[in-house]
């Protein structure tokens, strides 16, 4: 009987943590490049069950195992590709292949993300708002001297010369200016994505060495999160009902134990 307390209480604790994971997914449905999490469970303190005779107990037979508790095995992140949506924004970039943008955080640490909804900071560098500057393929921040740009499929950012600022006479005497290369957006990946540690705002950190890859970069687009809201809502309702059921049965156990102490104990 007392084993039921362990099973039910541990089940409630597990479902509470599972709800936190699902809630975090739901909050980030609209976060570009966000990757969903899923909690996995395991058992704790497994016990082997044997059957033996009433008199002769010398040859017990194994009949199975029983578990006292359910606990969290870990949280797994799905790196499946999200839908790519065209935005028309000059500073929006999407990755269509495995890989990550590299962000230099305020503390100097490098963060990795699939969120390509960039901006320009006060000093004129390409950045991801509230997180840090975007690093180029050479490992340095990309200075944006102009927002009149064009970007090729390799991630090279070119400043396009503005036309119409010169007189017709000047234009006739001079050759057309070539676009100026401002930098190349760096895209990196890791041999083992499971070693990535998830942080805030859909970013990751890693102690492993990053290697430059072709991320299939698309300009004026962003990758949406790979979260299925309907699937997450179903999982949330399932987890809530499991937690409520465990709480109700735990209450029955408590009442039954009270009866044992007050009534049977009196006899």
| Domain positions in the chain | 2-78+227-264, 84-223
Instruction: Report d(CA 118, CA 222) in Å as an integer.
Output: 10
Place of tokens 């503390």: 107
Query: Bridge partners of 127?
Result: 119, 133
Q: Which two three-digit tokens encode residue 191?
A: 């041999």
pLDDT in tens, 102-137: 999 888 899 999 999 999 999 999 999 989 999 999
CA–CA separation, 125 and 121 (whole Å): 5
- Evaluate if residue 155 carries a pLDDT over 70: yes
Structure tokens at 112: 């990795």
Region for 155 from its dihedrals, namely left if φ exceeds 0, alpha if ψ lies in -120 to 50, beta otherwise: left
Asked if residue 136 lies in contact with residue 185, where contact means CB atoms within 8 angstroms, the answer is yes
> What pLDDT score was predicted for residue 11?
87
Checking if the pLDDT of 176 tops 80, the result is no
Host H or E run for residue 6: helix 2-27
- Contact between 157 and 136 under an 8 Å Cβ cutoff? The reply is no
Q: Look up residue 194 and give its DSSP letter.
A: G
CB 89 within 8 A of CB 217: no
Question: For position 128, what pLDDT does the model report?
Answer: 94
- What mean pLDDT is predicted for residues 247-260? 84
- Residue 176 CA to residue 161 CA, distance in Å, equals 9
Q: Is residue 49 within 8 Å of residue 263, measured between CB atoms? A: no
Q: Is the dihedral of CA 219, 222, 223, 228 positive or negative?
A: negative
What integer pLDDT is reported at residue 37 of this predicted model?
Answer: 95
What's the pLDDT band for 164 if we cut at 50, 70, 90? Answer: very low
């Amino acid at each position: 009987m007392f084993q039921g307390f362990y099973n039910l209480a541990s089940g409630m604790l597990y479902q509470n943590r599972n709800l936190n994971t699902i809630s975090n997914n739901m909050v980030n449905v609209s976060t570009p490049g966000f990757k969903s999490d899923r909690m996995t469970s395991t058992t704790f303190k497994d016990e082997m069950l044997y059957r033996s005779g009433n008199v002769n107990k010398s040859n017990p037979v194994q009949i199975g195992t029983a578990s006292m508790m359910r606990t969290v095995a870990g949280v797994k992140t799905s790196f499946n590709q999200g839908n790519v949506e065209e935005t028309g924004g000059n500073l929006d970039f999407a990755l269509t292949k495995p890989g990550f943008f590299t962000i230099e955080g305020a503390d100097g640490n490098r963060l990795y993300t699939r969120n390509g909804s960039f901006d320009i900071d006060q000093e004129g560098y390409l950045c991801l708002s509230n997180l840090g500057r975007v690093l180029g393929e050479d490992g340095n921040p990309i200075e944006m001297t102009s927002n009149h740009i064009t970007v090729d499929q390799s991630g090279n950012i070119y400043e396009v010369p503005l036309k119409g600022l010169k007189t017709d006479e000047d234009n006739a005497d001079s050759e057309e200016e070539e676009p100026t290369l401002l930098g190349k957006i760096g895209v990196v990946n890791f041999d083992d994505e499971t070693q990535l540690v998830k942080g805030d705002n859909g970013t990751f950190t890693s102690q492993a060495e990053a290697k430059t890859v072709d991320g299939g970069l698309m300009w004026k687009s962003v990758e949406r999160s790979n979260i299925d809201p309907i699937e997450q809502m179903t999982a949330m309702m399932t987890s809530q009902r499991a937690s409520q059921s465990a709480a109700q049965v735990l209450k029955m156990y408590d009442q039954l134990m009270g009866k044992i102490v007050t009534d049977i104990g009196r006899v």
